[in-house]
Amino acid sequence: MPLLVLVRHGQSEANLANVFTGWLDVPLTPQGEEEARAAGRKLHGLRFDAAFCSTLLRSFRTLELILEEIGQPAIPVYATDALRERMYGALQGHNKLEAVHEYGAEQVARWRRGYDDAPPAGESLHHTLDRVVRYYDDTLVPALRAGRNLLVVSHGNTLRALRMQLDGLSVPEVEAMEIPTGAIRVYEFTPELVIQAVHDM
C-alpha cells in the first residue's frame, strides 16, 4: 500500500523573528534543525522511494536531515518551485506585529488566514492550492499509483492547501488550520488511491 508522508520544515530564522517569510530564502534555526531530526526519528523504519521538497533552503535542509536520520540519504530527491511557500508579496520580510500596526489586525488576519484574500502582489491560499494540487496530480499521483512511498517536505500554507484537497476540508476548516513546524501527517492509500488511513506523528 503506497504511503504519502507530509512534513512541515523545521523552525526557520524568520519564524523565530515573527516575519512574513514567503519566498525569502532563510535557514533553519538550531531548534529547526532539531525538529527536522526529531521528525526523522519518528519516521524511522519507513522506507521511501522518492522525496520532494521546495527549492527554498528551509525545506531542502529539513528533508536532508530527515533522510540522514532515517538512513536513506541516497533516494531520489526532487526540489520544485511548485512546493514553495505561499508568496506574501508586499508583506514579505515584514514583522507581523509591524504589519498589524500598518494595515490593522483585521486586514492582516484576512491576508494570513483567508482562502481568497491575497496580500498586495502576493498569492492567496486559493492560488497556492491551484499550483500545489496541479503538481500533486501530475507528479505525485502517478508515483503513488505505481506503489511508491513518497516523502514531501514543504511549508505551512503549501501543506494547508494540499491537506484541503486530500482531507476534503471546507474553506472555514482550512482557514482555521495551523500546522506546526516539524509536524508530520501520514496518508495510507489502497492500490486504487483511496485513502484508507490517516495519522499524525
Tell me whether residue 157 is annotated as binding. Answer: yes
- Helical (H) or strand (E) element with 151: strand 150-154
Instruction: Out of 69, 85, 123, 175, pick the active-site residue.
Output: 85
Measure the CA angle with vertex 161, ends 158 and 162; round to 5°.
Answer: 90
173 is catalytic: no
Instruction: Out of 9, 35, 64, 175, pick the active-site residue.
Output: 9
Dihedral through CA 72, CA 78, CA 79, CA 82, nearest 10?
A: -130
127 is catalytic: no
Tell me whether residue 21 is annotated as binding. Answer: yes
Tell me whether residue 14 is annotated as binding. Answer: yes
Tell me whether residue 95 is annotated as binding. Answer: no
Q: Check: CB of residue 180 under 8 Å from CB of residue 8.
A: yes
Tell me whether residue 38 is annotated as binding. Answer: no
Tell me whether residue 8 is annotated as binding. Answer: yes
Tell me whether residue 128 is annotated as binding. Answer: no
Tell me whether residue 45 is annotated as binding. Answer: no
Supply 107's cell numbers: 486586514
State the alpha helices, DSSP H only, in the chain.
Answer: 13-16, 30-42, 57-70, 96-103, 105-113, 125-135, 141-145, 156-167, 171-176
**Which residues fall in the annotated binding site for substrate?**
8-15, 21-22, 58, 85-88, 96, 112-113, 156-157
Residues annotated as catalytic are: 9, 85
Q: Which residues participate in the annotated binding site?
A: 8-15, 21-22, 58, 85-88, 96, 112-113, 156-157
